[in-house]
Structure 1
């Protein structure tokens, strides 16, 4: 049918352009944040691109939902401003008739959103968490960037390395400042390396000197050494079973219905349900006055999206804290949104039909 093909073609074209714009903006923001984390020592610099990919995949369902919602509002809003809606309404096509072409265009996107939320989201979070933990569990010497003063993980030591070799296992011109509540020690060495004995790891320094200062009495002690060994404290690997709910598979969350897991399930299923409700809300919120060249309908629609998305996050917190059950949260938030969308469609549809009928009666 000409009506369906026209709406679907324009909606698909607008969705593609909107998605490109949103992806560009969001990925740029994530890239800046990830580079900042790498500069501050939170993540490894060589993992920036990989971590950015995981983060982008995790937020892709939200970006797809927003792009689809904005595309519907822009497409139908343009039809309102160009008076195309008046022609369709005069031909007996109500606003509810637009639901069919919108759904036929959007169902592949909804399937992608479902796959991303149920499968890709936990996989990306799990891999991202592993990258961060792997970098945090490295020794203090391995985390130092050559030519940069860097603080240890517990904040008690400052390291400086002129040049390192073999992936940070060996180092040259090592400078270490260690401070406790009573003493301060400055150690310098020509070279250093890491050695493991059983479950302990030692930092072995060669050909250097150590200057100890008693902060209470002011006494100083200077000593030289050919070899100096010090135990390096490291964080133990976290138990894999203690991974956060966002990194757990959907089936595992269903098999272990704790409050936190149900909160995560409420968020995943809620965002998927919200994507469907956004289609109906977009059709109802797209109405615009053809006599006013403004985009207030788009601003109002974006405000509605922000409120709805925050309610989804709030429902997750409610379920995780035990205030409401998962079923009640899903029914309350998304059932209300669905009812509002249907009421908005009914009001827009009947208002348009009534307005057109009143104009015909006045002319007669």
Structure 2
């Protein structure tokens, strides 16, 4: 049908543009954070885009419903402003029939959202955890680059040169800020350094320094101590605070969630993945009901209020997830919230027919 192809093309193109813009905004902020961590020496710059790629499905699970709803609102609003809706209505095609024409496309979005939430997002989180555990949370000599000062937690390190296997360094400068008040800062200058591998110990970097000096400096005072050494072993503890936070439940595959569904936390995550994709259908119902505007008003007049209503649906689902995880609600609270918003959308779409009847009933009661 020509009308269906026209609507689908408009909605899909508009929604994809909105989703791309929202993704750029949200991921841009996270990318800036990771760049800052890389500049501080807490993250290898080479894995930045891998991290973003693994986190992208998680962000899309929230961006996709919102982008789809905004796309529907903009398309339907334009139909009203450009008088296309009036022409369609005059031809016997109501907005409810237009909504029915968009149901197949909406189901495709539901499937895409379901695949993201049930499989892809959790897989991305597992890959993200594996990547960060292996490479990203590194400190000290792990991130040394020749002729560059690298800061990592309380450490600042400089090496004039570095061997290809990253085990031998020359012209070493090392500075460690005191972690406790009253303790001295430590500065070490050495001609060479060799990394020492200790089995079953991943909590620190160990290096043997050769021919150098060690200074203990008390900040704010002229007091310091100096010692020369021929060989000195230095142990750098890894920064325990430089860890990425990720919920173990959110990274679990759907099969494990189903096996442990009796646990409230697992049940809340299971319900979130299974029922939230149906928010796409609610987006269609609400968009049809809330997008009606007159040509003089412009198609953006009701966009913000409608956006707040749809955002309240996402917030309500998140609140349900929290309550279910605490054992205060059952998993069927998710479909109840979706049904409540579907009924509200149906009432909004019938407001033109209901308003005169309600007004007559009020006048009849008063008389």
Provide the C-alpha distance between the structure 2 equivalents of 1:231 and 1:25, rounded to a whole number of angstroms: 41
Alignment equivalent of 1:314, drawn from 319, 326, 332: 319
Asked whether the 8 Å contact 1:68–1:106 carries over to 2, the reply is no
Listed one character per residue, the Cα deviations across residues 239-258 of structure 1 (whole Å, up to 9, x for unaligned) are xxx96112111221221233
> After alignment, is 115-124 or 298-307 more displaced?
298-307
Q: Report what 1:342 is aligned to.
A: 346
Asked whether the 8 Å contact 1:207–1:225 carries over to 2, the reply is yes
Q: Report what 1:251 is aligned to.
A: 255
Asked whether the 8 Å contact 1:263–1:316 carries over to 2, the reply is yes
> After alignment, is 15-24 or 276-285 more displaced?
15-24
Q: Residues 115-126 of structure 1 correspond to what in structure 2 (within 5 A)?
A: 115-126=115-126
**TM-aligned CA deviation for residue 7 of structure 1:** 2.6
Provide the C-alpha distance between the structure 2 equivalents of 1:180 and 1:84, rounded to a whole number of angstroms: 69
Q: Report what 1:106 is aligned to.
A: 106
User: TM-score, normalization: structure 2?
Assistant: 0.81
Q: Report what 1:362 is aligned to.
A: none
The question of 1:161 aligning with 2:159 is answered yes
Q: Residues 44-59 of structure 1 correspond to what in structure 2 (within 5 A)?
A: 44-59=44-59
Provide the C-alpha distance between the structure 1 equivalents of 2:42 and 2:274, rounded to a whole number of angstroms: 31
Asked whether the 8 Å contact 2:160–2:170 carries over to 1, the reply is yes
Q: Report what 2:8 is aligned to.
A: 8
Q: Residues 9-158 of structure 1 correspond to what in structure 2 (within 5 A)?
A: 9-135=9-135, 137-146=137-146, 147-152=148-153, 155=154, 157-158=155-156
**TM-aligned CA deviation for residue 308 of structure 1:** 2.1
Provide the C-alpha distance between the structure 2 equivalents of 1:99 and 1:167, rounded to a whole number of angstroms: 63
**TM-aligned CA deviation for residue 213 of structure 1:** 5.6
> After alignment, is 163-172 or 201-210 more displaced?
163-172
1:331–1:13 CA distance, 2 compared to 1 (3 A)? closer
Provide the C-alpha distance between the structure 1 equivalents of 2:218 and 2:170, rounded to a whole number of angstroms: 28
> Across the two proteins, how many residue pairs are aligned to each other?
343
Q: Residues 279-294 of structure 1 correspond to what in structure 2 (within 5 A)?
A: 279-293=284-298
**TM-aligned CA deviation for residue 205 of structure 1:** 0.9
> After alignment, is 4-13 or 49-58 more displaced?
4-13
**TM-aligned CA deviation for residue 142 of structure 1:** 0.9
Asked whether the 8 Å contact 1:89–1:353 carries over to 2, the reply is no
**TM-aligned CA deviation for residue 194 of structure 1:** 1.7
1:307–1:169 CA distance, 2 compared to 1 (3 A)? farther
**Structure 2 residue ranges without an equivalent (≥5):** 241-245, 358-367
Asked whether the 8 Å contact 1:95–1:345 carries over to 2, the reply is no
Q: CA RMSD in A?
A: 3.1
SS in 2 for 1:142: helix
**TM-aligned CA deviation for residue 235 of structure 1:** 7.5
Asked whether the 8 Å contact 2:109–2:280 carries over to 1, the reply is no
Provide the C-alpha distance between the structure 2 equivalents of 1:125 and 1:279, rounded to a whole number of angstroms: 30
Listed one character per residue, the Cα deviations across residues 49-68 of structure 1 (whole Å, up to 9, x for unaligned) are 11121222321233322222
1:101–1:39 CA distance, 2 compared to 1 (3 A)? farther
Alignment equivalent of 2:279, drawn from 274, 282, 288: 274
**Structure 1 residue ranges without an equivalent (≥5):** 237-241, 355-364
1:180–1:82 CA distance, 2 compared to 1 (3 A)? closer
Alignment equivalent of 1:211, drawn from 209, 212, 215: 215
SS in 2 for 1:289: coil
1:331–1:11 CA distance, 2 compared to 1 (3 A)? closer
Listed one character per residue, the Cα deviations across residues 263-292 of structure 1 (whole Å, up to 9, x for unaligned) are 322332343122221121111111111232
